A and B are shown apart, each in its own frame.
Chain A
Amino acid sequence: MASIHIDGKTYEVDGAGNLLEACLSLGLDIPYFCWHPALGSVGSCRQCAVKLHKDESDKRGMLVMACMTDAKAALRHGPEHKAWISIEDEDATAFRKQVAEWLMANHPHDCPVCSEGGQCQLQDMIMMTGHGQRAYRFGKRYYTSQNLGPFVAHEMNRCIGCYRCVRYYQDYAGGTDLGVFGSRDRLFFGRETDGVLESEFAGNLTEICPTGVFTDKAYEGQFTRKWDLRYGPGICQGCAVGCAISAGERYGTLRRVENRYNSTINGYFLCDRGRFGTGYVNRKDRPRKIYAAHGSEWHSLQERNGSEAVLADLSTKLAEKIAAERVIAIGSPRASLENNHALERLVGEEHFSSGVPEEELKRLRFMARMLQVAPLPSPTIEEVEQSDAVIIFGEDLTQTAARMALAVRQAARQREVALAQERGVAAWQARAVSGIGQGAKNPVMIASPAATRLDDVALHTAHVSPSNLVALAQRLAQVLVAVGSSKSDAAEAVLSDLEEDEPWVACAVRVLLKAERPVLISGEAMMSLPLLEAVAACAAALHQQGKQQGRLALLPREANGMGVAMMGRMSLDAAWKRVQRGEVDALLVLENDLTRAFSPVQLKQGLAQLEVCIVADHQFTSFAQQADLVLPTASFAEEDGSYVNYEGRVQRSYAVFDPTAMAGEDEIRPFYKWAADIRARQADMPQGCDTACDEEALYNELVVDHPIFAAGRGLSKQCYAPVAGERLARQSPRASGRTAERANLSVWDKGYHQKSGSGLSATMEGYSGTEGGAVHPFAWQPGWNSPQAWIAYQTTPGGPLKGGELGVRLFAKRPKNVLLCGCDEDELLKDSLSEGGVAGSVDHAAFADKDEGEGLEVVPLYHLFGSEELSARSPLFAQRCESPYVLLNEQEAHERFGDDLAEGASLCLSCGTQSLILPCRFSETLGRGQVGLPVGLGGVPRFWGRQRVSLERVAAPLCEEGRP
């Protein structure tokens, strides 16, 4: 530790980072623009000037840019490792004020009509510098702004030229279509021409930009000031990464999703699916009341006596069916643990299915098992960012787990940092680092069926069919073991032999042997258990090589896939078989669109056997439309719930708003409340018992039945105010309109419903400081209205939160004795984990033979916009979602269907009795004998993935997605 004297006060600092970081982490305010914790310093805005003195007696000092001054150098500057700096110094203050005035010279006076107003770093910094009156009274330059697509709005006139946007977009996110044009004071940050920003992480520009040049278009369509939003600390539902988000509500609709900083997972950035894909919460066509289909017996009951009667009837009937064991309940990997468990308790565990198809469930259980027993642990996103080699098997990460793709880009960039550090240049010296690095990258190796969005940072890509992918991974494990056990000369000989025939494998082995912290990534994308096993075998081989720092990431598909797999219970196929066999009268489906899992014929067969089909969902999915009764459940924004992400981290997502507050008619409730209500009626208990609906109590009930989740107990302790009797405020202290927002409904003020037993207050009343747990509904500190306020919550800028890590990793200690219920993983793993098994089982030829099988192999493809069920229902996504297609190898397509086959011509895929008619597209990277099919996109059912299909050309023009 060293001491630093700032304006006469002495502080202890550790001397890491630059002066700006040191001052900010001490809680001292220095204005800045071009510096950002995730981007480092370039010293271009000249705003963070402070005075550095030689020693106590030096009255003159010199002005330095705090962001460009190494704290260590500053300490060395003075005697005895002490530094004297002054922020309040007259010269420094005048300098900063002057710079602020320059920056503001061309900035328009449009704060009232700017959607950044109220959360604008420029506003904050101008207040901080004290530049209140503008002397510049001449004409201002103006620009023609661009249309950058449906997500990001562009208003170039507000630009202050800090360069943070291009540094983020090009350097950090690897985008190529946003740049800087022009010269001197005519700088223009934008695209070459109007058009949609290509990067999947473009939404982060809205938070990176210190002012209102890039703003959130989704939010602008329903804009309200940041101080008026009611925030809920949520967990993104877009994929299995589980990024933390702050979702804001006003007048009963979800307005915006912001990044909620935490160092382990999402850091400062979200993907566009997470940021813009929550429009489904506000859909007008959501089920808002109990809905009984015409023709069902419930309908007349509802017409006569209302929802209450339906619920009473449902409770008694369900009780009868449960007693007679003629009921099946189907859970969902997109519903929270609590909701799934409520359903399980309602019908009994023998009648509960996790809602995941058999094969997928096997893979999920394998992944869950791997979290406990794999030789290498699962990495956090932060660990992926810090790794020095990444090998990806089968995943197009940018489309399936986008935040991890961004982390992989950072892993590649870490090479530049490492090179700079070898030369004694700190990582925050952004320009120096890229100058030294000259674009050097850590190795990223990708093996996938077709081109991926990460190919531009990849050292070596191999485009192989899914089954060859398995062989490739197995081969890699085999060679790793072989090379590891032999001497270096012999190993080199083996590798150089491999160079020609299997260059990818040879390269991967070299990369892995050289790396200290390699990460292997695979997942659900290829729908292949052998692939996961083979990748796990690679991890085992790495472990054997002494790469204990290595990590193995296996990615499920949905937000809570890992959670339902850990709950065990039967698969969706097993449940549906029972339905089809007529063993069941009543079917209860929770937030699961079965049309995506079964063919229409299978569905019809099953539904015909049923007396009643009840769906509880927050969307009118195509399956809910076929149900007799729909219970309106809450979306993530309206309920508390726990989710398990890919690394086995349980995280709790908290409700943003009460859907009944603004529209009293709605009957939307979390499913666990519906279940509690039904159970209460069955047991003749008093109705509406809210006691069991406190989130911690619900979780504890879950742990009683599923001890595997025990580590997540006490998760609500991460969400508390460090002041006795206080809760965490969910609105800013200046939220407005509370006596008017509901006045059109009732002139008598009604307080917002405060949930009992929650650490969160629904309103502004409560604690909004930086202490407490890891959960903070939103970032705001006095003088810091922009997302830059997160600095106050961090121990060091860009470092961990003061409140610790978000969520709890279930297998941090990797216990060996907890077994997943009803799953024979040990059998499953026997082959893949014993090295002998791996070495002996690889047979290249066997896979080659299999390729010659009949028909073409369907390769599942994914799209960030559209493949995920819920976000695809967001109205805004309609402009970014593609329509379904089939992807073919270009040469093969012409060989099969003649040279006149053009892109867009209709092709018919058929497999058994199923067929799909879709337009075709060509690919140069997809291998022969395969067809790429974007499963999930536009409702293409997932069961098509990995089928063998025959392909015909149809003369008919493009018709809608074909169903037999």
Chain B
Amino acid sequence: MRALVQYCVNLKGLCVGAVTQVRTIGMVFLHAARKRQTLLYPEEKPDLAPRYRGRPVLTRDPNGVERCVGCGLCAVVCPVDCIALQQEERESGQWFAKFFRLNMSRCVFCGLCEEACPTSAIQLTPDFELGEYRREDLVLEKEDLLISGTGKDHSYSFRTHIGRASAEFGAQWAEGDDAPQSPVDTRSLLP
């Protein structure tokens, strides 16, 4: 009895195997007639998701002011230490990056800088064409990185949320609708 069962199982396996092989061969031949998945790059460009992690850029806020305040959080979070920058302060008290250097020959496109950025300034874009003929050209400075648009984040403006109190933007310390309209009167002793 046991031998009979064994025989049937083996026979079933044999049949299934044969059918699978035939099906696979069939699929291969079917694909030969299908539309191509690969692209004829560089003539054709791929359609990448906005969240694709390619070339980093520095963006501007909706008012067209550069978003980067030079806080250094992207540099500190970078696992390959490929960002070096220097903060500077404008007359108005606003911070901005005096220089912002990104060594693309070191970048691993991990996107941690984007995640750490409190102002949405640095963003990774779907551009992956980063090849250069000279290694030196892989070192990007602020002029190379700064774009004129807002990038993926269209509305956020750190500076109007929270800036150093400045003539340009007014004292924007207070958030929300019930924000006090004037600074604290420090000479008042009223309860």
User: Would you call B187 an interface residue if the criterion is a C-beta within 8 Å of the partner chain's C-beta atoms?
Assistant: yes
The B-contacting residues of A in range 342-371, CB under 8 angstroms, are: none
* Cβ B139 vs Cβ A228 within 8 A: no
User: Would you call A737 an interface residue if the criterion is a C-beta within 8 Å of the partner chain's C-beta atoms?
Assistant: yes
Partner of A108, one of B86, B141, B173: B173
User: Would you call A814 an interface residue if the criterion is a C-beta within 8 Å of the partner chain's C-beta atoms?
Assistant: no
Q: A112-B158, A747-B105, A747-B138 are in contact. Are A739 and B82 (CB under 8 A)?
A: yes
Q: A186-B188, A747-B138 are in contact. Are A145 and B84 (CB under 8 A)?
A: no
User: Would you call A294 an interface residue if the criterion is a C-beta within 8 Å of the partner chain's C-beta atoms?
Assistant: no
The A-contacting residues of B in range 54-106, CB under 8 angstroms, are: 69, 71-73, 75-76, 78, 80-87, 89, 94-95, 101-103, 105-106
CB contacts (< 8 Å) of B135 on chain A: these are 747-748
User: Would you call A220 an interface residue if the criterion is a C-beta within 8 Å of the partner chain's C-beta atoms?
Assistant: yes
Q: A113-B164, A736-B81 are in contact. Are A137 and B176 (CB under 8 A)?
A: yes
User: Would you call A312 an interface residue if the criterion is a C-beta within 8 Å of the partner chain's C-beta atoms?
Assistant: no
A111, A138, A734 pick with most chain B CB within 10 angstroms: A138
A738 to B103: give the CA distance in the assembly, Å.
10
Partner of B175, one of A140, A181, A223, A228: A140
Partner of A183, one of B82, B85, B158, B190: B190
* Cβ B73 vs Cβ A112 within 8 A: yes
User: Would you call A141 an interface residue if the criterion is a C-beta within 8 Å of the partner chain's C-beta atoms?
Assistant: yes
Main secondary structure of the interface of A (DSSP, over half): loop
* Cβ B173 vs Cβ A140 within 8 A: yes
Q: A113-B95, A138-B178 are in contact. Are A181 and B187 (CB under 8 A)?
A: yes
* Cβ A139 vs Cβ B175 within 8 A: yes
What's the least CB distance linking B83 to chain A, in Å?
6
* Cβ A736 vs Cβ B184 within 8 A: no
User: Would you call A109 an interface residue if the criterion is a C-beta within 8 Å of the partner chain's C-beta atoms?
Assistant: yes
User: Would you call B183 an interface residue if the criterion is a C-beta within 8 Å of the partner chain's C-beta atoms?
Assistant: yes
Chain A residue with Cβ nearest B138: A747
* Cβ A743 vs Cβ B187 within 8 A: no
CB contacts (< 8 Å) of B72 on chain A: these are 118, 224-225, 228, 736
Partner of A142, one of B80, B161, B173: B173
Mask: chain B, 157-191; 1 = CB below 8 Å from A; 0 = not:
01001111100000101111111100111111111
CB contacts (< 8 Å) of A111 on chain B: these are 71, 118
User: Would you call A117 an interface residue if the criterion is a C-beta within 8 Å of the partner chain's C-beta atoms?
Assistant: yes
What's the least CB distance linking A897 to chain B, in Å?
45
B86, B158, B180, B189 pick with most chain A CB within 10 angstroms: B86
The B-contacting residues of A in range 122-151, CB under 8 angstroms, are: 137-145
User: Would you call B136 an interface residue if the criterion is a C-beta within 8 Å of the partner chain's C-beta atoms?
Assistant: yes
A912 to B164: give the CA distance in the assembly, Å.
58
Mask: chain B, 128-139; 1 = CB below 8 Å from A; 0 = not:
000000011011
CB contacts (< 8 Å) of A137 on chain B: these are 175-176
Q: A108-B162, A112-B119, A139-B179 are in contact. Are A740 and B103 (CB under 8 A)?
A: yes
The B-contacting residues of A in range 182-196, CB under 8 angstroms, are: 182-184, 186, 188, 190
CB contacts (< 8 Å) of A143 on chain B: these are 183-184, 186
* Cβ B183 vs Cβ A144 within 8 A: yes
What's the least CB distance linking A143 to chain B, in Å?
5
Q: A110-B164, A736-B81 are in contact. Are A182 and B187 (CB under 8 A)?
A: yes
Q: A220-B89, A740-B101 are in contact. Are A117 and B71 (CB under 8 A)?
A: yes
Chain A residue with Cβ nearest B172: A142
* Cβ B184 vs Cβ A182 within 8 A: yes
* Cβ A747 vs Cβ B139 within 8 A: yes
CB contacts (< 8 Å) of B189 on chain A: these are 182-183
CB contacts (< 8 Å) of A112 on chain B: these are 69, 71, 73, 95, 118-119, 158
What's the least CB distance linking B63 to chain A, in Å?
17
CB contacts (< 8 Å) of A744 on chain B: these are 101, 139, 141
CB contacts (< 8 Å) of B75 on chain A: these are 228, 736-737, 740
* Cβ A140 vs Cβ B174 within 8 A: yes
Chain B residue with Cβ nearest A746: B136
Chain A residue with Cβ nearest B96: A113
CB contacts (< 8 Å) of B118 on chain A: these are 111-112
What's the least CB distance linking B188 to chain A, in Å?
7
* Cβ A183 vs Cβ B191 within 8 A: yes
CB contacts (< 8 Å) of B94 on chain A: these are 113
The B-contacting residues of A in range 739-766, CB under 8 angstroms, are: 739-741, 743-744, 747-748
CB contacts (< 8 Å) of B139 on chain A: these are 740, 743-744, 747
Q: How many residues of A contact B (CB 8 A)?
A: 45
CB contacts (< 8 Å) of A139 on chain B: these are 174-180
Partner of B80, one of A251, A734, A739, A748: A739
* Cβ A110 vs Cβ B162 within 8 A: yes
A111, A251, A737, A748 pick with most chain B CB within 10 angstroms: A737
The B-contacting residues of A in range 215-230, CB under 8 angstroms, are: 220-221, 223-225, 227-228
CB contacts (< 8 Å) of B176 on chain A: these are 137-139
* Cβ B191 vs Cβ A740 within 8 A: no
User: Would you call A157 an interface residue if the criterion is a C-beta within 8 Å of the partner chain's C-beta atoms?
Assistant: yes
User: Would you call A573 an interface residue if the criterion is a C-beta within 8 Å of the partner chain's C-beta atoms?
Assistant: no
A366 to B119: give the CA distance in the assembly, Å.
62
A110 to B185: give the CA distance in the assembly, Å.
22
A110, A138, A145, A188 pick with most chain B CB within 10 angstroms: A110
CB contacts (< 8 Å) of B106 on chain A: these are 739-740
A657 to B56: give the CA distance in the assembly, Å.
31
A853 to B87: give the CA distance in the assembly, Å.
61
CB contacts (< 8 Å) of A220 on chain B: these are 89
Chain B residue with Cβ nearest A182: B186
User: Would you call A155 an interface residue if the criterion is a C-beta within 8 Å of the partner chain's C-beta atoms?
Assistant: yes
A523 to B184: give the CA distance in the assembly, Å.
49
Q: A739-B82, A740-B83, A747-B139 are in contact. Are A142 and B183 (CB under 8 A)?
A: yes
A142 to B181: give the CA distance in the assembly, Å.
9
* Cβ A155 vs Cβ B164 within 8 A: yes
What's the least CB distance linking B101 to chain A, in Å?
5
Chain A residue with Cβ nearest B88: A223
A734 to B119: give the CA distance in the assembly, Å.
21
* Cβ A157 vs Cβ B95 within 8 A: no
Chain B residue with Cβ nearest A740: B84
* Cβ B103 vs Cβ A739 within 8 A: yes
* Cβ B191 vs Cβ A736 within 8 A: no
Q: A137-B176, A143-B183, A228-B75 are in contact. Are A251 and B163 (CB under 8 A)?
A: no
A222 to B83: give the CA distance in the assembly, Å.
18
What's the least CB distance linking A114 to chain B, in Å?
9
A450 to B115: give the CA distance in the assembly, Å.
62
* Cβ B103 vs Cβ A142 within 8 A: no
* Cβ B95 vs Cβ A743 within 8 A: no
B80, B135, B186, B187 pick with most chain A CB within 10 angstroms: B186
Chain B residue with Cβ nearest A141: B184
* Cβ A186 vs Cβ B184 within 8 A: yes
A622 to B125: give the CA distance in the assembly, Å.
56
A183, A186, A736, A744 pick with most chain B CB within 10 angstroms: A736
What's the least CB distance linking B168 to chain A, in Å?
14
A181 to B188: give the CA distance in the assembly, Å.
9
What's the least CB distance linking B76 to chain A, in Å?
5
CB contacts (< 8 Å) of A117 on chain B: these are 71
Q: A736-B84, A740-B106 are in contact. Are A140 and B191 (CB under 8 A)?
A: no
B residues whose Cβ falls under 8 Å from a Cβ of A: 69, 71-73, 75-76, 78, 80-87, 89, 94-95, 101-103, 105-106, 118-119, 135-136, 138-139, 141, 158, 161-165, 171, 173-180, 183-191
A-B contact pairs, 26 of them (CB 8 A): A108-B162, A109-B161, A109-B162, A111-B118, A112-B71, A112-B73, A139-B176, A139-B177, A141-B174, A142-B171, A142-B173, A142-B180, A142-B184, A143-B184, A145-B165, A182-B184, A182-B189, A221-B89, A223-B87, A223-B89, A736-B72, A737-B75, A740-B75, A740-B82, A740-B101, A747-B139
- Can you add 6 more A-B contacts, CB < 8 Å, to A139-B177, A736-B83, A739-B106? A142-B173, A223-B87, A225-B76, A736-B75, A740-B75, A747-B103
Q: Which 9 A-B pairs have the closest CB atoms?
A: A737-B84, A139-B179, A112-B71, A188-B186, A740-B84, A142-B173, A736-B75, A741-B84, A740-B103
